[in-house]
Amino acid sequence: MRIVLLGPPGSGKGTQAARLVERFQLIHISTGDMLRAAVAANTPLGQEAKSVMERGELVSDELVLGILEERLSQPDALKQGFILDGFPRNLKQAEMLDALLQKLDQQIDHAVLLEVDADEIVKRLAGRAEQEGRADDNEDTIRKRLQVYEEQTAPVAGLFEQKGVLDRIPGVGSVDAIFQRIVKALGAD
């Protein structure tokens, strides 16, 4: 099973990804973790990423895709399947992912979109920021992040909807209830 997990910041993607990985024995692929691992392993792409990050720049989509290709080509990802968490973040990345998967003779089986309204997101992230002592996550900052999500990432769901693989899941209620909705949508309940 190959899954893309979508949703606004604070929708519970990380929590649900961890549960899905455990339940279905999938490989959890987070682009941020992959970049750090490639840098730590000193791979050629990791060296390139390190150089970019040391200059304080954003790693290009092409470089992220190269590192993603390295990971998706590994036997465990090919055999077990994977869950992509945090990628794709925009339509360009979604199109690049589609081309990569075609090259690897794979496809996304499910794109799970956790739907949570903006006020609930603000409440969750403000609460988490207070718990973790993060002053940078105030309501204005959170709403700006949500605006960026709506402009750049939300349209990605439409692409997966056109392919007939989008599962819209209400991301409210208990963690267990949300997880059960996802499992049911995946046809594995």
Q: Give buried/exposed letters for 150-172 (b at 16+ CB in 10 A, else e).
A: eeebbebbebbeeeebbbebebe
CA 145 to each of CA 40, 54, 109, 125: distance values in angstroms, whole numbers, following the listed order = 29, 24, 28, 11
| Choice among 2, 13, 50, 181 that is catalytic | 13
Query: In the structure encoding, which two tokens stand for residue 34, read together?
Result: 């992959």
Catalytic residue among 92, 103, 134, 163: 134
89 is catalytic: yes
Is 13 an active-site residue?
yes
> What tokens were used for 3?
């899954």
- Catalytic: 55? no
Strand partners, 139: none
Q: Of these residues, 71, 89, 143, 168, which one is catalytic?
A: 89
The residue type found at 37 is A
Extract the tokens encoding 147.
């605006």
Residues 34, 71: contact at Cβ < 8 Å?
yes
Annotated catalytic, 36?
no
- Pick the catalytic residue: 19, 36, 145, 168? 145
**Catalytic-labelled residue, pool 23, 92, 103, 128:** 128
- Closest alpha carbon to 172 in 118, 114, 129: 114
CA-closest candidate to residue 54, choices 39, 71, 44, 68? 39
| Residue 181 annotated to the active site | no
Positions marked active-site: 13, 89, 128, 134, 145
